[in-house]
Amino acid sequence: MSGAETAWSSLASRVVRVVLARKDFGYAQLSRALASMGVKESDRALASRVSRGRVKLSLLLQILAVTGAKVPSLWDGAVSTAGTWEQRARMVVVAELSRQPMVAFEELAQRMVRLGSDLTEKTLTSHLDEGILSLPEFLQCLVALGSSSLELYVDYEDLVAAAQAAPPPPLL
């Protein structure tokens, strides 16, 4: 894992831990709550995934929902709509993009690569389009768009610092 990837994973872990701490949720309680919506994951597996920052955006949305945590207002429509959690995650990205109507998935992916993403532009575009972003990727997305939507859970300045710590992309 690269240093940049570690920084983003660490921030992703922090976001989830802050959500859980603010709502006084432990991993066992989270596991039970997620199971009630059809997500079967043990408390140990959740704790391990969160500690490593290996969380999908869709899981963050599920955690926000089951804990009753405050959802950024820009995401309200996306999170409350019917559909899979991946579809909702995609809609969250679309909502973030709505603030910058001149930016499409491809441009956003290019910006994320410039921020040090370990994925290719093509893979990022696919992840954005399909709503299968990891939380670290989504945090990069927020920085690329200049969004402070998650300010209740992580300081935007910390996201920017992670972006600045990333090595520059190789010259083609």
Count of domains for the chain: 1
Residue in 78, 149, 137, 132 with CA at minimum distance from that of residue 111: 137
Asked whether residue 172 is domain-assigned, the answer is no
Lowest mean pLDDT among 1-15, 53-67, 85-99, 111-125: 1-15
CB-count burial class (<10 Å; 0-12, 13-18, 19+) for 138: buried
Q: Are 112 and 98 in contact (CB under 8 A)?
A: no
CB atoms under 10 Å from CB of 9, counted, come to 21
The answer to whether residue 66 scores a pLDDT higher than 70 is yes
The answer as to whether 166 is a domain residue is no
75 domain residue, yes or no: yes
Q: How many CB atoms lie within 10 A of CB 134?
A: 21
The whole domain housing 21 covers 3-161
- pTM passes above 0.85: yes
